Amino acid sequence: MARLFEVGITRDLLRADGTDGPWGVGLDVLHRHPGVRTVYLGEDAAGLRPDHVRGLDALALFAPKVTGETLRGADCLAILARLGVGYDSVDIAACTRHGVLVTITPDAVRRPMATAILAMMLGLSHRQWQKDRITRAGHGWSRRSDYFGMGLTGRVLGSIGLGNIGREVFVLARPLEMRHLAYAPRATAAQAAPFGVELVTLETLLHESDVLVVACPLTPETHHLLDAERLTLLKPTAFVVNAARGPIIDQAALTDALRAERIAGAALDVFEQEPVDAADPILGLENVILSPHALCWTDECARQIGRSAAEAILDVAAGRVPRHVVNREAIETPRVREKLRRYREQAEAA
C-alpha cells in the first residue's frame, strides 16, 4: 500500500468547537483526497516546535511562527503553505536550508484585500466614522455640517508598493477618476502604465497624495518607512490607509500626527504591536478607523485562500513545483529536488 502524504494543519484554522473554521473551508479538498492524510496539530501554539512538524510532508498554517528551531529534525517536510500573503512569521532562510518550499496565496487575497482598502478610503473621505458617532450620540442632525467629506474626483491616490494588491486597488479605483501615483523601487514604467500609474519618488508621493495607501511587504528596508520626518511631508488634508503590516509606519509618530491634526485621518487594519494594547492612545482618537487585522475577512477570501493553499500542497504531493513559492532559490536545491522526485514516484505508483 502506498504511503499517504501527511499534511498537518495548525489549530488556529479551527473553531473553538473543533470544527473547520472559515479559513479551513477551502482545505476540504485535502480531507477528501485519497492519497492524503490530514491531521490538526495537537495544540494551538503561537510558535511551532519541532515535535509539531516532525513526520509531516506538508503544513498548512495561518498565524503560528516558524523558526529554524521548528524545522530541526523535520526531514520529511517539503512545503509550508501559508494562508495569506505575508510571510514575516516564517524564517525563509531556514526553510531554504532545510529544503522546504514556502508558498503564499496572493491570487486569493488580491480582490478581497483591495476592496477592503477601497472601503477604508471611502469611509475616510466621507468621514463616515465621525458621522456614525455623532448620530449615535443623538446630535447628528445639528452637527452634520461640521463633518464635510473630501470628494475624490481629481484627487491623488498614492500607493507605497505596486504589487499584487496595490495594482488591484488602482484597478478598482478607476471609476473614481483620481490621479494614480506609486512609489515602487522595483517596478518599471512599463509595468505601471497598464494600471494608469505614474511612478514617483517617495518624497513626491508623500507631498502629492490625498489618500496614501501602504501596500508593500514588511522588510528591514520598509520597517518604519513612514517615520516622524516623512509623515510631516503629507498634506494636512491627507488620509493614510494601512492594511499591509503595522511596523511599516512608526505608530507613535502617526498617533502624534493624528492627534495634532497634521493629517486628516487614518484607517488601520494593522498595528505595530498585535493585538493592540487596550491602553494604546491611537484607540482614543476620533479621526481614525480601526480594524483588528481582519478587514478583508469574508467568506470569499477564506474560501479562496484555503483552496490556493490546498492546491500548492497537492502540487508538491504530485512531485510538482507549486505556484507562488516565496523562496524560489530553494526549488533547484538537491534536497527539494529529491523530495519532489520521491513524491512524484509515489504518486505515479499509486
**If you write DSSP's letter for every residue of 250-318 in order, what string do you get?**
-HHHHHHHHHTTSSSEEEES--SSSSPPTT-GGGG-SSEEE-SS-TT--HHHHHHHHHHHHHHHHHHHT
The one-letter amino acid code at 94 reads A
Catalytic position from the list 11, 98, 155, 293: 293
Q: Answer yes or no: are the C-beta atoms of 24 and 13 closer than 8 Å.
A: yes
For the question of residue 98 being annotated catalytic, the response is no
Counting other chains too, the contacts that 40-46 makes at CB distance below 8 Å and 24 or more residues apart are 40/8, 40/9, 40/10, 40/11, 40/13, 40/14, 41/8, 41/9, 41/10, 41/11, 42/11, 43/11, 44/10, 44/11, 44/12, 44/14, 45/11
Q: Which three cell numbers stand for residue 112?
A: 478581497
Catalytic position from the list 52, 98, 155, 245: 245
For the question of residue 221 being annotated catalytic, the response is no
The one-letter amino acid code at 16 reads A
Catalytic position from the list 274, 286, 338, 345: 274
For the question of residue 180 being annotated catalytic, the response is no
- Residue numbers annotated as active site: 245, 274, 293
